[in-house]
Amino acid sequence: MIKKHFIAAVAAVMSLSAFATSTAWAQNAPADQQLVKRGEYLAKAGDCVACHTAKGGKDFAGGLPIATPIGMVYSSNITPDKDNGIGNYSEDDFDKALRHGIRKDGASLYPAMPYPSYAKVKPADVKALYAYFMNGVKAEPTPNKGVDIVWPLSMRWPLSIWRKVFAPNVAVDGADDNSALIRGQYLVEGLGHCGACHTPRGVGMQEKALTDDSTQFLSGGVIDGFLANNLRGDARDGLGSWSEGDIVAFLKTGRNSHSAAFGGMADVVANSTQHMTDEDLSAIAKYLKSLKPVKDGVAPLAYDDKTHQALRKGSDQSPGAMGFLNNCAACHRSSGKGWTETFPQLSQSATVNADNPVSLIKIVLEGAEMPWTQKGPTQFAMPAFHDRLTDQEVAEIVTFIRSSWGNNAGAVSASDVAKVRKELPKKTVGADSGTVAKK
Ligand code: HEC
Ligand code: HEC
Ligand code: HEC
């Protein structure tokens, strides 16, 4: 016992002296290149670039508009530029912003910055991230934009109350448990901020759970008009029928035999998860597979060949079946099984069978393109149908899909489709989509 304490004390002194030397380099380059490299990897795991880079802008120079219920918030310049970025931030200032949601000037940040998730990041990893942002990122003089929120809602002091109510305590460096399950939990809850999209939000726009204490955690949320699916063990609309290998393949290549990434997830795969090591992806997969289903005792969907036979014989002439044959079957096939890793299956698909059909409607109206990844470089695309199909026709087709090949989900009405169409970005509506929605 005494020996153990002694070792701990020595270790503490050693890490303190390591801390002293590493704060010294922050002022006097050259930086510890290994630490910078680790920080770069962690920045990818945290997908900082996705939010902190405007369309066509310089990496990390900020300015990306992010919609909140009260108006537009713009991400900050987090390059080491001293006037416009975070060049004057000490490691402590950086930590305050990243994990506590507090700016250097003391104002609270909008939780559009996922600091409630990043609160889980351990101090040793914050140090590496800081080293990277100070030494591995190019300074850009892009000025920050204010918020597009009208006064008095634009006042930041209510955010400090939000922070006190909803933000969790930040993590401390503890004894390292390197088991895959703990590592996976750390990445999912923390830097990966998977819950920022995949967990439903409450009345205060807070994530209903930040950990697996509640089955709300990762049970599905709506983001930018897409449903970020349930990632728990549910067999029909979750990952119950995915193996760990299926999850790793999806995160690495953006596709697998069940599905292909689209919407916000295509960016997550392209910017973040494809760059993670196989070891970390396996850890994430192991952790996700440990999450209990929201609803117990629901049987997985079984494939049923009846629809396939009826379509082949021409015995189903309903508008939904005809619409499917004319618009979708060329790629997704009359069997509904598609072609693996090319055209995703519509049978037994979580997107198709989810209670909330928004993703299904939106992908039909808007089309989609798989992410580009090193391990899956061919970007197959799905055409947009907003200018070819009416609300009624889309409703008939998706209702048909939701009740074919063994799928078992509720009907979709023309007014459900109209709601999604109204929210489509202006660039989609009226753009000539041709056949394949390639940019
Ligand atoms: C989901 C979007 C999103 C992601 C991902 C994200 N940020 Fe942010 N971040 C924001 C927004 C939006 C703001 C500005 C919020 C405000 O103005 O209140 C911000 C602010 C910040 C600030 C405060 C800057 C200042 O002016 O004090 C820092 C530092 C920061 N982010 C670092 C990071 C790092 C490091 C990562 C990756 C580990 C990251 N962010 C990932 C959206 C994001
Ligand atoms: C910016 C929002 C966002 C973040 C952050 C995010 N996702 Fe997603 N994710 C989505 C959306 C939207 C979908 C639905 C579209 C699709 O299936 O690709 C999705 C789908 C998925 C799917 C496919 C589910 C299915 O049944 O088809 C998996 C697996 C997944 N995400 C895992 C993760 C993991 C793990 C993380 C954290 C490392 C994460 N996601 C972070 C938005 C996000
Ligand atoms: C030209 C081939 C093509 C046609 C035609 C087509 N799709 Fe797709 N579809 C795709 C591709 C490719 C993807 C993957 C897109 C991605 O991941 O970004 C996809 C994805 C989907 C998904 C998401 C499945 C998942 O879980 O990943 C659904 C649902 C879907 N299509 C339905 C339809 C419907 C309904 C029609 C007809 C109205 C249709 N598609 C027509 C190629 C096509």
Q: What is the pLDDT of residues 143-193, one digit of tens each?
A: 999 888 888 888 888 899 889 899 999 998 877 777 999 999 999 999 999
Helices (H), 190-277: 195-198, 244-253, 264-271
Q: Which residue shows structure tokens 């309903």? A: 318
> Which whole number is the average pLDDT over 68-94?
95
Answer yes or no: same fold for 30-142 and 306-422: yes
Specify the pLDDT at position 427.
62
How far apart are the CA of 111 and the centre of ligand 1, in A?
9
The predicted-structure confidence for 358-388, as pLDDT tens digits, reads as follows 999 999 999 999 999 999 889 999 999 999 9
Q: Is the pLDDT of residue 3 over 60?
A: no
Q: Is the pLDDT of residue 197 over 60?
A: yes
* DSSP structural state of residue 216: T
Q: Is 218 helix (H, G, I), strand (E, B) or coil?
A: coil
> Which whole number is the average pLDDT over 253-260?
97
**Domain 306-422 indexed as CATH 1.10.760.10:** yes
The predicted-structure confidence for 269-323, as pLDDT tens digits, reads as follows 999 999 999 999 999 999 999 999 999 999 999 999 999 999 999 999 999 999 9
* DSSP structural state of residue 228: E
Specify the pLDDT at position 369.
95
Q: Which residue shows structure tokens 């979580």? A: 350
- Domain ranges in the chain are 30-142, 306-422
Specify the pLDDT at position 428.
52
pTM: 0.91
Q: Is 420 helix (H, G, I), strand (E, B) or coil?
A: helix
65 — phi, psi (to 5°)? -75, 135
Instruction: List pocket residues of ligand 3, CB cut-off 6 Å.
Output: 259-262, 266, 327-328, 330-332, 343-344, 346, 349, 351-352, 360, 363-364, 368-370, 380-383, 385, 397, 401
Pairing between β-strand 65-68 and β-strand 71-74 as defined by DSSP bridges: antiparallel
Q: Measured between alpha carbons, how far is residue 105 from residues 23, 51, 96, 114, 139 in Å?
A: 22, 21, 11, 19, 20
Q: Is the pLDDT of residue 57 over 70?
A: yes
102 — phi, psi (to 5°)? -120, 125
Q: What is the CATH number of domain 30-142?
A: 1.10.760.10
For ligand 2, is residue 268 a contact (CB within 6 Å)?
yes
* DSSP structural state of residue 300: P
For ligand 1, is residue 48 a contact (CB within 6 Å)?
yes
Instruction: Judge contact between 400 and 318, C-beta under 8 A.
Output: yes
Instruction: Judge contact between 406 and 303, C-beta under 8 A.
Output: yes
How far apart are the CA of 196 and the centre of ligand 3, in A?
25
Q: How far apart are CA 99 and CA 160, in angstroms?
A: 14
Specify the pLDDT at position 430.
39
How far apart are the CA of 88 and the centre of ligand 1, in A?
16
- Lowest-confidence range among 228-232, 373-377, 429-433? 429-433
For ligand 1, is residue 73 a contact (CB within 6 Å)?
yes
Specify the pLDDT at position 138.
97
How far apart are the CA of 188 and the centre of ligand 3, in A?
28
Instruction: Please name which of 90, 95, 89, 86 lies closest in space to residue 139, comparing C-alpha atoms.
Output: 86
Which of 343, 386, 394 to mutate for ligand 3's pocket (most ligand atoms within 8 Å of CB)? 343
User: In the chain, how many H helices and how many E strands?
Assistant: 19, 6
Specify the pLDDT at position 146.
86
